[in-house]
Structure 1
Amino acid sequence: MTASTAPRPVLAAGLATLLAGLTVLTASTAYAAAPRLTAAYAEDSTWSTGYGGGYTITNAGDAAAEGWTVEFDLPAGSRVTNSWSSVRSQTGQRYQFTNVAFNGDLAPGGSADFGFNVSGLGRPVNCLVNGQPCTGGPTAPPSPTNPPGPSTPPSPTAPPSPTPGQPGGPTVPVATAAQLRAALAGAAPGQRIQLAPGTYRGSFVAQRPGTAAAPIVLTGPREAVLVNDGPSGSGPSCPVPTAGWDSGYGLWLFEAAHWRLEGFTVAESKKGIVLDNSPHVTIDNVYVHHVEDEAVHFRRSSSDGILRNSRIEHTGLEQPGYGEAVYLGSANSNWACHGNTGGVDRSDRIQVIGNRLGPSVTAEHIDVKEGTVDGVIRGNTFDGRGLSGQNSADSWVDMKGTGYVVEDNVGSYAPPGTFANGYETHNPVAGSGCGNVWRRNSSDLGGVGRWAINVTSTSKCAGNLNVVYASNTVSNATGGLTNIAVTP
C-alpha cells in the first residue's frame, strides 16, 4: 500500500508546475484592444473637368483611435484644388490629409469624413490610412513613381454608383437657378444636389427634411454663387415662405432638418443662410460675403447644428448694427415669433468650429442669444477690423447663452472700427449669460480693447458662474485678461 501511493506527491508537483507555465503563457499572449481604421472613398459630384470626392474613416477596432491620416496618389494631370474637414499637404502627386481638432478622436464604431475637389479626371489610388491600406487588408506600399494606366481610374462619365438613401446617394446636377429651385422643391433623403460653377440668382428655399441616416446634401465649388436680389412683395410679420414674397435670404432652410451645405458661396443678399426650425444641419466650407444683415442665422430652434471651416466677411452693408457673422437663437423680444419650443428659441448645442470670421463684420462675429444652451465655439479666427459699434456691436462674441465652451480661438483687432472687449457676457433674462467656460483663447486687443473677457455680472450667475482659465492669453489690452478671478 505504501509503495503504490508514494509517487503521488511528485505527480502533483509536476502538474502544478505545468499549470503555472500555462498560466504564464496565457498571460503573455493576452489579447490587446486596438483601433483598426478603414477609409471608404465616394464621389458626390462630377463635371467635365473634375469632380468632388471624399473619404469616410471608420474605426472597426475595439479601442479608441486618437487621430488619423489618409494619403493617396493622383495621376499626373490631376490635382486637389481645395479640401475641408482636414489639413492637407502634398509631395509631388502624393496627397496627405490629417484630422482637424473636431474629428480626430474615433471611438470604436465611430466615423469621420473629409472632402476635396479635384481638377482633372484621375481618381485616388494607393490609399493608406495611418500607414495601412484603406480597405483594412494587407499592407501594400504606394507606387507614386508608377502611376496607373488609363484603364485603372473609373471613367469620368461613369462615377461609382452610391447607395440610395446614404450621403453618397443619387446626385442631382444643377446649372441654372430654375434647376436649383426645382431640386430644392423635390429634394429627398439621401440626395446630393450638385451645383455647377456659376451665379444663381433668385429666391432659394428648402422645405423638405432629410434623415439622420440619409441627410440631403447641397454641394458645389466656391465658384457656385447664390445671390438673392430681394426682398420683394409683402410677407407675414413672422417670416414663413409665402407665395409672392421674396425674403431676400440667400438660402433659406425652413423646417428642413438633416441637411448638409458644402463648398459654395452666398453673396449680395439681404441675409446669407437662414435656418428656421431646421435641426441637425451641417454647414461646411461655405463662403458668405457682402450681405446686408447677418451672414448665418440658426433660428427658431434650429438645434444641434454645425458651422465649420467657413469664411464670412463684409456683413451689415445696410444695417451695420445687425451685421453679425453668426447669429445663434433669437432675442427674447422676438420669442413670440421664433420661440417655437416652450416660448423660447432653443437653437441649442450649435458648434461653431474652425471658421474665419472678418474682416468687415460690422456687428459681433458671433452673437449668442439668451435661451440657447450648451454650444461650442472652438478654433475660430476673429478679425475685428470694421466692427461698427452700432447697436452695441463692439466685441467678437456677445455671450448671452448658457453653458457654452469657448476655446482655442484667436482674435485680433485693428482700426478701423469700434472695439471695447474681446468677449462679453450679458444677462437679459434670468439665468442667461452664465455657466460658460473660456480656455486657451488668444486675444490681441490692438491697444484699444479693455478686457479679453468681460463678465458683466457675477451676482446674476450665482451658483452657475462663468469660468475664465489661466490658459487664455491677452496682448495689447488697456485692462487685461478678464475682470473676474482667473481659474488656474
Structure 2
Amino acid sequence: MSLRKPVFLGVTTISAAVAVLALGGPGTARAAAPDLSATFARSSVWTSGYSGGYTITNRGDAAAAGWTVEFDLPAGSAVTGSWSSVRTQAGPHYRFTNAGFNGTVTPGGTANFGFTVTGTGLPVACTVDGVPCDGGGQVTTTPVPPTTTTPTTTTTTTTPPPTGDVVDVSTAAQLQAALADAAPGQAIRLAAGTYHGSFVTTKAGTAAKPIRLSGPANAVLINDGPSGDAPDCPVPTAGWDSGYGLWLFGAPYWTLSGFTVQESKKGIVADNSPHTTIDGVTVHHIDEEAVHFRRSSADSVLKNSTITYTGLVQPGYGEGVYLGSANSNWGCHGNSGGVDRGDRIQVLDNHIGPFVAAEPIDVKEGTFDGVIRGNTFDGRGITGENSADSWIDVKGIGYTIEGNTGTFAPPGVFANGYENHNTSTSPSFDNGCGNVWRGNKSDLGGVGEYAIRISSVSKCAARPNVVYASNTVTNARSGLTNIPVTP
C-alpha cells in the first residue's frame, strides 16, 4: 500500500437549489416539491490526489425520488473510483446518479456519495438535476486552476491526554495514549482530522461501564503499516505494526461510533473482545477485510455503518464483514475449546458495497445463532476470487437472515444472492445448518442463479435450513431457491 502524506483538508461548499414550483394565479396553492443542495468536501488529501464526495440535502417539502449530480474536472485530474452512486463519464465531464439504496431523499434528509481523484483539481460547473448547483447563473465550463496545498507540519506530543470520564483527543499520539490508558466508563472523543498511526487497545470495559470511542465522520483513522517482524499469530507485539486501522485485543465492552477508518491493511479488528458495538462508522479503501469479529468476539453488534472498497490488495480476502475464522485458522484464533466461537453477533441496518471484493458478509464455521437483518448489499465489484460470488456465505449454524435488500449489477462475478456451505470441522458441528431466511428482497441483475442456494439438504437433515415464502427475487436466472419453500 502506498504511503500518503496528510495535508490540510480544504472544503468547498457548493449549494444547489433544485426547486420545481407549480405557480398559479391568485388562490392557487404551490405544489410541494423537493429542493436539493449539494455540498462537496474532501475527506483525505495526498500529494497526487484526494478523496471526497457530496452530501445532498433536501430542503424542500416533498421527497426527491432520485438525483443526478454532474461536474467537470480540470485537465490533469480524473475520477479513479467512486461509491454509493452510478458513474458515467464523457471526457472531463462526470455524471453521478443515485444508487439503489440512496435515491429517495425525504424533506430534511440527506444522501451521500463519494469518489477518489488522481490530480488536485476540484469539481467545477456542478449541476443537480440539470440546474446549476449555486442556484443561479449559467453553467460555466471554464476549469479553475488546480489548488495547491502545502503540507503542514504537526508537532506531536508524548504527553498523555487528560484523564477522567471524558478524554478529548486531536492528535495521533493523544489517541494512542488514550487507548493505552482507557478505563471502564471512559468516553474518548475524536476531534475532526486525520490520524495516522497504529491504534490498538488491550483495555477492557465492563457491562455496567463500557468504554466509548466516538468522533465525527471526518475523524479519519489511517494505518500506513504494516511494518516489523510479525509474530506467528497476530497479537500486539513491540516493534510490529499490524496495519489494522483499529485493533481491539482482549478488550470487551467497547462502543465505537461515528468515525471513519480507511487506507489500512484491515479496517476494524476485534480479537477476544466480546460485547463490542460498532455503530455508524464508515470503513473504506481497505487492503483486506473491513470489519472482523475474531477470536470468539461473541455478542457483538455492527449497525448503521457503511462499508465500501475492500480487498484492494488481496481481493479474495476483501470481505465487508467477517464473523469468526476459517477452521484452518483455529490454531491461531480458536480460543474456545480450539474453536473461534463468534456467537450471537448481530449485523443490522448497514450499507455494504459497492466494490467489496469478497463477500459483503462471510459467516464462518463454528459460529452460532447470529442475526443479519435490515442490511443493504450492493454487489458491484464482487470479484469471484477465493469463491467470493454472493452477498452472504453462511457456514455458521442457526443464523437468522431477514429483511435484507440485495442488488447486483456489473462489474463483478456473481453466482447466487445467499449461499450456505457445509464445512467439515473437528470438533464436529452442523456447519451451514439450521439457518433461516425470511423477508429478504433480491435483485440478481439477470446474472445470479438463485436468490438463496442451499448446498445440501441431506447434510442438514437434523437441523434443516428454512427458506420462507416471504423472500422475493427479481432478475434471477433460475428462481428464488433450489429447495422447497416454507409458507
TM-score range, shorter chain: 0.5 to 0.7
Q: Which residue of 1 aligns with 2:440?
A: 441
Distance 1:466 1:90, change over 3 A: farther
User: 2:186 and 2:60 mapped to 1: Cα distance?
Assistant: 35
Q: Which residue of 1 aligns with 2:407?
A: 412
Q: For residues 251-330 of structure 1, what are the structure 2 equivalents within 5 Å?
A: 251-330=246-325
Q: Which residue of 2 aligns with 1:392?
A: 387
User: 2:326 and 2:58 mapped to 1: Cα distance?
Assistant: 43
State the secondary structure of the residue aligned to 1:335: helix
State the secondary structure of the residue aligned to 2:316: helix
Q: Which residue of 2 aligns with 1:460?
A: 459
Match of 2:363 among 360, 368, 371: 368
CA deviations over 1:340-392 (Å, ceiling 9, x no partner)? 00110001000000000000000000000000000000000000000000000
State the secondary structure of the residue aligned to 1:327: strand
How far did residue 462 of structure 1 move? 1.2
State the secondary structure of the residue aligned to 1:179: helix
Query: CA-atom RMSD, angstroms?
Result: 1.5
State the secondary structure of the residue aligned to 2:176: helix
Amino acid at match of 1:312: I
Q: For residues 49-448 of structure 1, what are the structure 2 equivalents within 5 Å?
A: 170-429=165-424, 430-448=429-447
Q: Identify, as 1 or 2, the structure richer in helix.
A: 1
Q: Which residue of 1 aligns with 2:85?
A: none
Amino acid at match of 1:422: G
Amino acid at match of 1:475: T
User: 2:389 and 2:341 mapped to 1: Cα distance?
Assistant: 25
CA deviations over 1:78-101 (Å, ceiling 9, x no partner)? xxxxxxxxxx99999xxxxxxxxx
State the secondary structure of the residue aligned to 1:337: helix
Q: Which residue of 2 aligns with 1:473?
A: 472
Amino acid at match of 1:186: D
State the secondary structure of the residue aligned to 1:446: coil
User: 1:475 and 1:321 mapped to 2: Cα distance?
Assistant: 27
Amino acid at match of 1:434: C
User: 2:458 and 2:402 mapped to 1: Cα distance?
Assistant: 24
User: 2:59 and 2:250 mapped to 1: Cα distance?
Assistant: 41
How many residues align structurally? 325
Structure showing greater Rg = 1
Identical-residue share of aligned pairs (%) = 71
| TM-score when normalising by structure 1 | 0.66
CA deviations over 1:3-49 (Å, ceiling 9, x no partner)? xxxxxxxxxxxxxxxxxxxxxxxxxxxxxxxxxxxxxxxxxxxxxxx
How far did residue 237 of structure 1 move? 1.3
How far did residue 170 of structure 1 move? 1.4
| TM-score when normalising by structure 2 | 0.66
How far did residue 413 of structure 1 move? 0.1
How far did residue 463 of structure 1 move? 1.2
State the secondary structure of the residue aligned to 1:307: strand
Amino acid at match of 1:457: S
State the secondary structure of the residue aligned to 1:485: coil
